[in-house]
A and B are shown apart, each in its own frame.
Chain A
Amino acid sequence: MVGFTPPDAIVNRVLIVEDDRDEADFLRDYLQRQGMTVDVARDGGQAHASFSMHLPDLVLLDVMLPNVSGFEVCEQLKRINDTVPVMFLTAVDMDDARDLARRVGADEYMTKPYDPDELLSTIHQVSNTVWSRVHQESDSGVEGEKIRFECGECGKRLRVSSAHRGRTLNCPRCGQSVIVPRHV
């Protein structure tokens, strides 16, 4: 694959997971005007169903949802299919939230209020990044490579096969459960 330049990823279908109706409607209308097909889910359950039935090209996800948080939804969706980019779009502007989003596999974290044009640009950017990562990884066979990360509890440096991305394991030192990051 030397010299191969991947084309831009195409975003045709977007799944919006947002419980605020006005916000969801605005997003849906805006993205539809950009020529995208948009599905809207109000909570984690609807998101799971929609994701399974109509696999989107990208997911826009709120943090604060009824019953189950966006972080858990992200973890669940990534477990189903980690090639679909998941992008948080939330008012929660906190470092800890960004950190957790990264650990559950999110590909981008954007805070409200946002510029719709910037949102659109970021959607394409994230989509391209994930597309490239997925295809370059499958082409180069990095599944056999190791991922290095630290236990968030005791700081022990861990090294596991990249095949374990997104899985939960127990730290051999402190026993705390840790999620193998999808992106390091």
Chain B
Amino acid sequence: MYVLVVQTGKYKGKRIKVSGPEVLIGRDEKAGIRIGSDDVSRQHCLLTPTDEGVAVRDLDSRNGTFVDGVPIPHTEDALLTPGSTLSVGPMTFQLATTETARPKRGGKAAADGALSDDDISAWLTEGDTSDAMQAADTTIIKGRSALSTAAAPIKPALKREFKSVAEEAEDIIRRYRESLGEDSADADPDA
């Protein structure tokens, strides 16, 4: 059994089991590991436990998925082995096995215990003035524990920077047209 150990923030050391044939990470409500951050796509990446480790597939996420700091190509699976790190948006995890993972002390809830909504709410309302980079809450659904953590100072290499709404809008419209196979320079804005 593999576990992801949170490497960053207040809940550093928390463990999340990678159970089942596949685990989806993303903002989507259906995600097994849900990270409520704008830097995370709804369906960001997919984890598949194997005998050698955990296969990670980036689901064409906007900001990319990183294994040991290296972005995964959209078209290929990457193998996450025990000791390797996985970065998704503001969150970084380290893969371990249930034999080697050890929970760290600290935090409001027991290492393997589920966090209550109150715990999450409490976190969401504190630390507003902290200089430490904060991530949005992370929720592990399907009866597993729910976490919220402060984030690692990781800046995704693939993230686009937008100086204005106009620039961001232009990028969205360009990508939409590309998805339709249109030439963005010639397309007629009829959508």
Question: Taking CB as reference atom, which chain B residue is nearest A158?
Answer: B128
> Chain B: interface residue count, which band?
35 or more
Binds A, one of B11-19, B50-58, B138-146, B160-168: B160-168
Contact indicator B190/A19 (Cβ below 8 Å)? yes
Are B161 and A176 interface neighbours, CB within 8 A? yes
B31 in contact (CB, < 8 A): no
- Answer yes or no: A71 CB below 8 A from chain B CBs: yes
B176 to A62, Cβ gap below 8 A? no
Number of A-B contacts (CB under 8 A): 91
B172 at the interface (CB under 8 A from A): yes
A154 to B190, CA, bound (A): 35
With A92-B191, A155-B135 in contact, is A99–B38 under 8 Å at CB? yes
Whole-angstrom distance from the CB of B174 to the nearest CB of chain A?
11
Q: Is the Cβ of B128 less than 8 Å from the Cβ of A72? A: no
A148 to chain B, nearest CB (A): 6
Contacts of A100 in B (CB 8 A): 165, 168-169, 172
B130 in the interface (beta carbon within 8 A)? yes
Q: Name A159's contact: one of B129, B155, B164 (CB within 8 Å).
A: B129
Mask of A79-119 contacts with B, CB within 8 angstroms, 1/0: 00000000000111011110110011000000010000000
Q: Does A156 touch B at the CB level, under 8 Å?
A: yes
Tell yes or no: B189 within 8 A of A by CB: yes
Q: Does B151 contact A (CB under 8 A)?
A: yes
Most buried by B among A63, A64, A179: A64
Interface residues on A, range: 35 or more
Contacting pair B172 A94 (CB below 8 A): yes
Binary contact track A133-149/B, C-beta < 8 Å → 1, others 0: 00000000000000010
Residue among B27, B39, B164, B172 with the highest chain A CB neighbour number at 10 A: B172
Minimum distance in angstroms from A44 CB to a CB of chain B: 11
Q: Is the CB of B128 within 8 A of A148?
A: yes
Shortest distance from the beta carbon of B34 to any chain A beta carbon, whole Å: 14
Among residues 56 to 84 in chain A, which have CB atoms less than 8 Å away from a CB atom of chain B?
A: 62-66, 68-72, 75
Q: Contact between A157 and B134 (Cβ–Cβ < 8 Å)?
A: yes
Q: Which of A62, A71, A148 contacts B168 (CB 8 A)?
A: A71
A29 proximal to B (CB < 8 A)? no
Cα-based distance from A64 to B191 in the complex (angstroms): 6
B115: Cβ under 8 A from any A Cβ: no
CA gap between A54 and B174 in the complex, in Å: 33
Complex: chain A residue closest to B26, CB-CB: A95
How far apart are the CA atoms of A157 and B10 in the complex, in Å? Answer: 15
Can you list 6 A-B pairs, Cβ within 8 angstroms, ordered by A?
A: A64-B176, A72-B165, A148-B128, A150-B38, A155-B151, A156-B133
Interface residues of B (CB under 8 A from A): 27, 37-39, 41-42, 62, 90, 124-125, 127-131, 133-136, 151, 155, 161, 163-166, 168-170, 172-173, 175-176, 189-191
Chain A residues proximal to chain B, CB less than 8 Å: 19-20, 23, 62-66, 68-72, 75, 90-92, 94-97, 99-100, 103-104, 112, 148, 150, 152-159, 173, 176-177, 179
